[in-house]
Every structure is written in structure tokens, then in C-alpha cells.
Chain A
Amino acid sequence: EAGVAQSPRYKIIEKRQSVAFWCNPISGHATLYWYQQILGQGPKLLIQFQNNGVVDDSQLPKDRFSAERLKGVDSTLKIQPAKLEDSAVYLCASSFPGGYGYTFGSGTRLTVV
């Protein structure tokens, strides 16, 4: 079974630039999540989608972060403009409704300089 695919694996940008991350969930998983993991901390949920609708985005910094999940499959997470404190690993996960089969991707490591 194919896992959760994320790209790119690594990204280095300058502050105030924009960046986008892509996630392809496991086939059949209606729920998709984006987490932010800052070095030395546990992952923090940024946004949760159910199909192409947002279920929870309470911890998403909406002044600079945006996410979409068109057609209820792939998702993109964008940061514009980036700040130094956005340096982190961005993890995508997917599951069946209710959290069954919860699976994480390998993440995208973002460095903002």
C-alpha cells in the first residue's frame, strides 16, 4: 500500500519569500491533516480537512498560512510571506473518518534564512 506522499523533502528560502508544500494522501482517506513540527517539539495540528472542507483550522496562522484541498484528494499548504520562526518540518497525514488508519508522511523540512 502506498503511503502519504509529500514534496519537496527539503526547502530553503529567505524570509518574506513564499513557499508551497504538496501532499497526496492514501487512497480512500477522506481526512487530511497538516502538522507543524518545530525542532525539539511535538507536532502541532495546523489544519484538518474532511474531503475538501475544513474541519479545524484554529491553530493556522491565517495571516500568512493558507491551505486547500481541491477535489478532496491532494492538498497544498502555502506560507506567504515566510518568517524565520516558520522553520520546521511540515507533516501531512491522512485517515478514514474518525481517525482510523491514521498515517503520516515523511514531511517537508523548511529552513527560512
Chain B
Amino acid sequence: AQSVTQLDSHVSVSEGTPVLLRCNYSSSYSPSLFWYVQHPNKGLQLLLKYTSAATLVKGINGFEAEFKKSETSFHLTKPSAHMSDAAEYFCVVSDTGTASKLTFGTGTRLQVTL
């Protein structure tokens, strides 16, 4: 069975400071991993995905994530937070055996303050 654990339910950063959202995964197969963002009353948007190519994945809006198999982690980072980054972020896993079934974490709410 596949699962993800998002280690922080809420993260608050100041604008211009780095962002770190933590995610650990569990998967029976070689997983595909994703980060999605959800702004209030908006749909889910894909930020980036890892599918067994380069372990450092770059996404949209300056976000990136590093796949670390030894630590079963897939943390999301951004060097400098912007007010528009305030949203809910979901770490998602998909077993390559069932690549279309996505299992979501419980989410991390990112707050960006002035």
C-alpha cells in the first residue's frame, strides 16, 4: 500500500525567506511523487513531479523537490517566499504499477507574512 505523511499541518514564513514543506512516503513499488497546490476556492494545480529520472525536480513558480530514497522523503523547497505562495500544499504518491491512482497527504497550509 502507498501512503504519504506530511510532517507539518501549518507552516508560516516571512516574505523573502526560504520555504520548506516536508513529506515522507511509503510505497511498495518505485513510486512517482508529486506536489500539488490548492489556492482557496481553486482547483488543484500540479507544481512538480518525480518519475524516476533526476532526483532533483524543478517545478513551476520557483519550487523544487528532492527525491531521497534512503530517507523516503520528497521535501518541497523554494528559496524565497512570495505572498502569492500562500495556499494548501499536498504531497502525493502513485505506485508506478497503478500510475493513475493518486494517494494524497493531509496537506500543509503555507502562510506568508510581510
Bound pair: A and B?
A: yes
Shortest CB-to-CB span from A111 to chain B, Å, is 14
| Chain A facing B: main interface SS | mixed
Report whether B43 and A105 are in contact in the complex, using a CB–CB cutoff of 8 Å. yes
The interface-forming segment of B60-68, B69-77, B99-107 is: B99-107
Q: Which residues of A contact B44 (CB under 8 A)?
A: 43, 91, 104
Interchain residue pairs A-B with the least CB separation, the first 9 = A42-B104, A99-B100, A99-B99, A104-B44, A106-B43, A104-B43, A43-B104, A98-B99, A42-B90
Report whether A102 and B42 are in contact in the complex, using a CB–CB cutoff of 8 Å. no
Q: A107's contact among B43, B46, B104, by CB below 8 Å, is which?
A: B43
Q: Which residues of A contact B99 (CB under 8 A)?
A: 98-99
The interface size bin for chain A is 20 to 34
Q: Which residues of A contact B32 (CB under 8 A)?
A: 99
Q: Which residues of B contact A98 (CB under 8 A)?
A: 99-100
CB of A31 closer than 8 Å to a CB of B: yes
The verdict on A31 contacting B107 (CB below 8 Å), with A42-B90, A102-B46, A107-B43 known, is: no
Report whether B101 and A45 are in contact in the complex, using a CB–CB cutoff of 8 Å. yes
Q: Which residues of B contact A107 (CB under 8 A)?
A: 43
Q: Which residues of B contact A40 (CB under 8 A)?
A: 106-107
Q: Which residues of A contact B24 (CB under 8 A)?
A: none
Instruction: Across the interface, name the chain B residue whose C-beta is closest to A105.
Output: B43
- Complex interface bits, A7-45 against B, C-beta within 8 A gives 1, otherwise 0: 000000000000000000000000101000000111111
- Complex interface bits, A73-113 against B, C-beta within 8 A gives 1, otherwise 0: 00000000000000000010001011100101111000000
Report whether A41 and B46 are in contact in the complex, using a CB–CB cutoff of 8 Å. no
Q: Which residues of B contact A48 (CB under 8 A)?
A: 100-101
How many angstroms from the CA of A91 to the CA of B92 in the assembled complex? 15
